[in-house]
């Protein structure tokens, strides 16, 4: 999404059978973008992953509008998926500065994470005529003592996800060193309501800034990027120690030479995770074994100064492709993932030129979000 303060747009591209992209259209969200307060100002305006989220099961797309504290929903045409149509009107996020979204497996519930002065979560049911409808007993506060827009990246919210079982909602919050960040975990009742309070789980001692969260399949665990070290592994089967730190097989794994590793996704084809670093412009491929031990497989430089942020894996014709938003280069890098350790750059798609030619504003410091929709 363009995330412009004068008006937010979703930019859609078609995915070809070879995984390559062709720009299709830009659609207004009828909301406003915003940029968190940072020094210096640069890409990663929302300090987040998940600003744009699509559901194949629900045939729906949702987008945050952080500058107007709203969320917009769109129906997706299965025969022409880049043809999106707004459902209803943008709805209040029930907080300030919404910056991340999660959707359940059925595509019937979206939950939003607010990161401003009114920080916390709220969930919405999907109505195909009305759009998003706020659900009772899901508005929960984080009490972070932030501002709107928030000051960061340290001390800000980052990402919201459902766990693999779908019975917990999890939000990541970065720390302000030396104070570590934490994951806020709410239990989900059978009626969709959230537990009144959350359980705070801290990373291992060397972890500090939990950012994106990607489910480790079949393990009740998460790989969590951490720009303070590299990445953390949270094992939810382990009993928390008295201080709230996850025990057992949880760990903090350094990435030597990393600057700010903040975004992640998983490839079912390779069985590995792909992490992006805004500072170095490097994609790091990571393997997590059955004992939840994380190791670095290979690294793929995408160019100095490209500011690689959000990424997403999509499966097309039984092949996996990694899409990386290189914000500062106003481009999307497409990498094929034929096998572990074999990622290969196959396309660099410039989106600034066509967007500006269409009369829209695009700013490398504002653009944020990446999601994929592949019709089953």
The count of residues in the chain is: 376
Q: Give the pTM.
A: 0.96
**How far is residue 167 from each of residues 29, 118, 194, measured CA to CA in Å?**
30, 25, 10
Among 12, 1, 14, 82, smallest CA distance to 46 is for: 1
In the three-class reduction of DSSP (H, G, I as helix; E, B as strand; rest coil), residue 327 is classed as helix
* Sign, CA torsion 250/255/258/264: negative
In the three-class reduction of DSSP (H, G, I as helix; E, B as strand; rest coil), residue 55 is classed as strand
Is residue 35 within 8 Å of 41, Cβ to Cβ?
yes
Residue 243: per-residue pLDDT: 46
**Dist CA 259 CA 256 (whole Å):** 9
pLDDT tens across 266-317, in order? Answer: 999 999 999 999 999 999 999 999 999 999 999 999 999 999 999 999 999 9
Omega prior to 178 cis, within 30 of 0:
yes
What tokens were used for 14?
A: 């078609």
What tokens were used for 341?
A: 């350790």
pLDDT tens across 335-350, in order? Answer: 999 999 999 999 999 9
Residue 242: per-residue pLDDT: 46
Which residues, listed in sequence order, are joined to residue 111 by a DSSP beta bridge? 102, 123
Omega prior to 149 cis, within 30 of 0:
yes
Residue 264: per-residue pLDDT: 98
**Dist CA 34 CA 7 (whole Å):** 10
**Dist CA 339 CA 270 (whole Å):** 5
Residue whose structure tokens are 């929960």: 140
Helix-strand-coil percent breakdown of the chain, rounded to 5?
0, 45, 50
**Dist CA 148 CA 156 (whole Å):** 11
**Dist CA 72 CA 131 (whole Å):** 8
Residue 239: per-residue pLDDT: 59
Which residues, listed in sequence order, are joined to residue 162 by a DSSP beta bridge? 169
**Dist CA 368 CA 51 (whole Å):** 7
Cβ count within 10 A of residue 169: 26
* Tens of pLDDT, residue by residue, the chain (376 residues): 999 999 999 999 999 999 999 999 999 999 999 999 999 999 999 999 999 999 999 999 999 999 999 999 999 999 999 999 999 999 999 999 999 999 999 999 999 999 999 999 999 999 999 999 999 999 999 999 999 999 999 999 999 999 999 999 999 999 998 899 999 999 999 999 999 999 999 888 888 899 999 999 999 999 999 999 999 999 988 755 544 444 557 889 999 999 999 999 999 999 999 999 999 999 999 999 999 999 999 999 999 999 999 999 999 999 999 999 999 999 999 999 999 999 999 999 999 999 999 999 999 999 999 999 998 7
């Amino acid at each position: 999404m363009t995330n412009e303060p004068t008006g937010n747009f979703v930019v859609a591209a078609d995915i070809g059978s070879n995984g390559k992209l062709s720009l299709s259209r830009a659609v207004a969200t009828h909301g406003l973008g915003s940029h968190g307060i940072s020094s210096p100002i640069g890409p990663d305006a929302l300090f987040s992953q998940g600003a744009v989220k699509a559901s194949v099961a629900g045939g729906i797309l949702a987008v945050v509008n952080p500058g107007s504290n709203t969320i917009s929903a769109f129906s997706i045409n299965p025969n022409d998926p880049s043809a999106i149509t707004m459902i209803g009107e943008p709805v209040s996020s029930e907080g300030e500065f919404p910056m991340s979204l999660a959707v359940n497996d059925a595509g019937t519930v979206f939950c939003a994470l607010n990161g401003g002065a009114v920080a916390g979560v709220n969930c919405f049911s999907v109505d195909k005529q009305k759009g998003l409808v706020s659900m009772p007993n899901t508005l929960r506060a984080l009490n972070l003592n932030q501002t709107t827009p928030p000051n960061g990246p340290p001390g800000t919210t980052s990402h919201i996800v459902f766990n693999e079982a779908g019975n917990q909602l999890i939000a990541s919050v970065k720390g302000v060193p030396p104070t570590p960040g934490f994951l806020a975990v709410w239990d989900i009742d059978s009626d969709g309501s959230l537990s009144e309070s959350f359980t705070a789980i801290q990373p291992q001692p060397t972890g500090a800034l939990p950012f994106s969260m990607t489910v480790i399949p079949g393990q009740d665990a998460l790989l969590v990027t951490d720009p303070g070290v590299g990445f953390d592994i949270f094992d939810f089967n382990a009993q928390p120690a008295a201080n709230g730190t996850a025990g057992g097989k949880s760990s903090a794994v350094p990435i030597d030479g990393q600057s700010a590793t903040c975004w992640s996704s998983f490839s079912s084809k390779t069985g590995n995770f792909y992490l992006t670093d805004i500072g170095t412009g490097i994609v790091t491929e990571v393997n997590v074994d059955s004992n939840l031990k994380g190791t670095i497989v290979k690294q793929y430089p995408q160019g100095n100064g490209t500011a690689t942020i959000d990424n997403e894996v999509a499966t097309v014709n039984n092949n996996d492709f990694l899409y990386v938003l290189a914000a500062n280069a106003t481009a999307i890098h497409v990498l094929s993932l034929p096998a572990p350790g074999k990622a290969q750059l196959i396309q660099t798609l410039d989106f600034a030129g066509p967007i500006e030619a269409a009369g829209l504003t695009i700013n490398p410091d504002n653009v944020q979000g990446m999601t994929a929709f592949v019709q089953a």
